[in-house]
Amino acid sequence: MDWQTQPKPAWLKRRYSQDPNQDMVEGILDGLSLNTVCREALCPNYRECFSRKTATFLILGKNCTRNCPFCNITHAPPQPVDPEEPGRVARAALGLGLRYAVITSVTRDDLADGGAAHFAAVIRAIRGLCPETAVEVLIPDFQGEESSLERVSEAAPSVISHNMETVKALYPQVRPQADYRRSLRVIKKIGGLGGGIRSKSGIMLGLGETREQVYELFEDLRAAGCSILTIGQYLSPSREHYPVKEYIRPEVFEEYKEQALSAGFDFVASAPFVRSSYHAGEALGL
C-alpha cells in the first residue's frame, strides 16, 4: 500500500481554532528572533502548544549539518553561533511563564564540542532569570564525545534527552549519519551522570519497524538506563522525505506503552501525536 497517497485516518485528523495565546507566543518568539522546532520541523502540535503558552526552543541556528531523510530541518551550511541567544531564550521563558522549558538544537558537527557549551549557557541563562523553571535539553549525539555531554550536565538540567528515533534495523535508511550503538552510549552516559538528572529518549513508529524490533529497542534503552520514553507516529513532511510505511492505530500505541512500562521505564507517553517535547513536563509531574 502507498501510504503517502492514502488519506490520513480519523485519529490523525485534528481541528484547530485560533487562540489569542498563539499570537502572543509567536510575537515573543519573533520579537526575540528565536527559532522553535515546533515550526521548523512542522510539528502537528504546535498550535496546541502555543495556545498553552509553551514552545520548544531550537538553538544554534536553523541549519543542520546532517540530512536525515525523515526530518524537515534545513540541511545547509551552519550559521554562526549567536552568543546573545541564551539570554534571549531566557527572556522568552520568563515572558511565557514557563514552569518547564525544553531546549533542542540542530546538529552542529562543525563545532568542536557539538554546541555543548552553548547548551550549557542557555540552561544557566534560564536558571538565572527563572530559578523555579525546570529545564529539559534534547541533545544531538555530539559524535559520542563524553566531554561535551559532561559540559551540558555541569549546568544541571533536570532532564537530558537524546532521541533514538527508530529501531536498529532502520538506521541505515532513516538515520544514515547516526549510529545506533553510539546513541545508546550517549543515553547510558546520561543515566550515569547523577545529580538527579533524568535520562529520556523518543522514537517514531510507522517507518517500517516490526513489533519485535520495537521491543528490542525498549530492552536496549532500559539496559542503557533510560527512564523516560516517548512514542509517536511518524508523519512524512513531504513526498521528498522518507515515506510513511504504516499508520499505527491508537490501541497499538497503548499496547506499546504497557510493554514499555513492563520493561521498567518510569514514565511513557505513547500516542499518535506524541512528540519528544509534547507535554514534556508531565514526566516530572509539572
The 3-state DSSP class for residue 15 equals: coil
Whether the pLDDT of residue 82 is over 90: the answer is yes
Distance (Å, whole) CA 235 – CA 218: 21
Residues of the chain with pLDDT > 70, as a percent, come to 98
Residue 4 has pLDDT above 70, yes or no: no
Residues 36-55 have a mean pLDDT of: 86
Q: What is the pTM of this model?
A: 0.95
Q: Are the C-beta atoms of residues 231 and 257 closer than 8 Å to each other?
A: yes
User: Quick one: average pLDDT of 3-21?
Assistant: 79
User: What gap in Å lies between CA 260 and CA 214, rounded to an integer?
Assistant: 10
Considering the segment(s) 3-284 as one domain, its CATH architecture is Alpha-Beta Barrel (3.20)
pLDDT of residue 1 exceeding 60: no
User: CB neighbours of 68 closer than 8 A, spacing ≥ 6?
Assistant: 165, 174, 175, 176, 177, 178
Mean pLDDT calculated for residue range 146-171: 97
C-alpha cell at 160: 537530558
Averaged pLDDT for residues 175-181: 96
pLDDT in tens, 96-128: 999 999 999 999 999 999 999 999 999 999 999
Taking alpha carbons only, the member of 119, 102, 108 closest to residue 141 is: 108
Mean pLDDT of the chain, nearest integer: 94
pLDDT for residue 2 is more than 70? no
Taking residues 75-98, report their average pLDDT: 97
Which region among 4-18, 34-48, 78-92 has the lowest average model confidence (pLDDT)?
4-18
Query: What is the predicted pLDDT for the residue at 263?
Result: 97
**Which of 129, 121, 132, 140 lies closest to 158, judged by CA?**
132
Q: Does the structure show a pLDDT above 70 at 5?
A: no
Q: How far apart are the first and last CA of the chain?
A: 41
